[in-house]
Amino acid sequence: MERLFNFVYRYRAFFTLLSLEIFCVWLIIQNNQYQSTKYFNSSNRLVAQMNEASQNVRNYFYLANINSSLAEENSLLRKKLEKSERTVQFFNLKQIKDSAQFTQFDYVSAKVVNNTTKYYKNFITINRGADAGIEAGMAAISEGKVVGKVKSVTNHYAVLISLLNLDEQVSCMIKRSGYFGTVQWDGINSSVVSLKYIPRHVHPVVGDSIVTSAYNAIFPEGIFIGKIKEFNLKDEAPFYDIKVTLGLDFANLAFVDVIKSRLKKERDSVEQITFGESR
Amino acid sequence: MTREGIIQFISFFLYAIVQVLLLKNLVFFNTGFCFLYVAFILLLPIETNPMLLMFLGFAIGFIVDIFYNSLGLHALSMVLVGYLRNYWLGVITPQGGYDAGNLPNVKSHGLQWFLVYTMPLIFVHHLTLFLVESAGFGLFWYSMLKTIASLSFTMTLIVVLQYLVPQRKRI
């Protein structure tokens, strides 16, 4: 026994290294899990406030860009509103039968206080949290385009997993033909993502719009992701290699809208009843 | 706490704050990052206990991780650097050995020795960081590009700071 203690004592530096590294690996694995550690990330209040202060300085340099993109979005929304008002008048749909379907989604606008695009695993911190009704698992969009989903929430802040994160996958479809696939970032270019699992018999076209599909419970259907930049089909590969140019400039992200789906619980519970615990 | 302890205590927080508030926003060509906080561990006195080096490395890595949303990643790389540092110092001992209380900086050992000392350790740190972050060897060559770009950025800043900030020869 004494010899064992002597052995451990002699190589104590190595054993410390081993135990610290194992602890670090455990932390990394914990952190990679969806909806994980709550406090040791940038949604922590102190950390977020420091980030907010530094983002406030940074925002001055982007004011012109932010203004123009907000104005653009405003005009787009106004156009849409007018169109839908006309439809309502034309078809005389004044009395909406199922108001739950029409008010299914609610939006919370939030300011980005911390955002990275250059690492392999990027996250975005926003200045709204549980107080504004945000919960883990909600979707976030900006200018009507996909940003990511909420990972962890504290009272006043939330951390989003950016679409530019190797772990993030979003179910999507080619708008023109309706084929389903999955969008995932490949870690290199912050304006390009890969579209996977599009089978051989589909004929994609450069410029096709990629939007979110109704298959995922997080994003509403039809949120714009990007346009096909290039594709190629290797011999004997079951799926296409497709590159998609993102519609959103993640580096200049200033505001996001978090989507609260009022019917999500209902959908989840009915799926739970049907498919059981296996999902 | 001794005078030396207080100086190192302040520099610990200084490195951490500069890293997370300032250098986090500085990225060259999407590949060159600056992880100046590694210098904190590298510039501690030569006789520092390896256990202390590892724990300090863990602490500063952990703080950086909280801001980078990458819990455990920087801590892991820094613990490794803390462990390897004293072995590497032993390998590159100059003729006649180190004097008691010497600091491993340019002023006491010269630029050439300093480059030989810091470059491999920072390379190991960056490579571990990017490989663990990408979770495998799938992006190995791109990680290597990032490592080399970041290495030159970090090294430039560390060497420039050696001349800008007045250095002491010994404790």
CB contacts under 8 A, A 235-264 vs B, are none
Q: What's the pLDDT at A38?
A: 58
Cα–Cα distances in angstroms (integers) from residue B164 to residues B39, B43, B157, B160, in the given order: 15, 15, 10, 6
The fold adopted by the segment(s) A169-252 is Thrombin, subunit H (2.40.10)
Across the range A70-80, mean pLDDT stands at 78
In this prediction, residue B105 has a pLDDT band, given cuts at 50, 70 and 90, of: confident
Residue A56 contacts B, CB cutoff 8 Å: no
Residue B144 domain flag: yes
Residue B48 contacts A, CB cutoff 8 Å: no
Could you tell me if B73 and B132 are in contact, meaning their C-beta atoms sit under 8 angstroms apart? yes
Could you tell me if A120 and A114 are in contact, meaning their C-beta atoms sit under 8 angstroms apart? no
Q: How is residue A224 written in tokens?
A: 């714009």
**Same CATH fold, A169-252 and A45-164?**
yes
Tens digits of residue pLDDT in B123-142: 999 999 988 888 777 788 88
Domain ranges of chain A: 2-32, 45-164, 169-252
Residue A120 contacts B, CB cutoff 8 Å: yes
Q: Does B116 score more than 80 pLDDT?
A: yes
Residue B12 domain flag: yes
Residue B19 domain flag: yes
Considering the segment(s) A45-164 as one domain, its CATH architecture is: Beta Barrel (2.40)
Q: How is residue A191 written in tokens?
A: 């304006």
Supply the range of the domain harboring residue B108.
Answer: 3-164
Q: Is the ipTM of this complex over 0.85?
A: no
Residue B82 domain flag: yes
Tens digits of residue pLDDT in B2-31: 888 898 899 999 999 998 888 887 888 888
Domain count, chain B: 1
Residue B113 domain flag: yes
Q: How is residue B129 written in tokens?
A: 């960081």
pTM for the model stands at 0.79
Residue B170 domain flag: no
Could you tell me if B160 and B99 are in contact, meaning their C-beta atoms sit under 8 angstroms apart? no
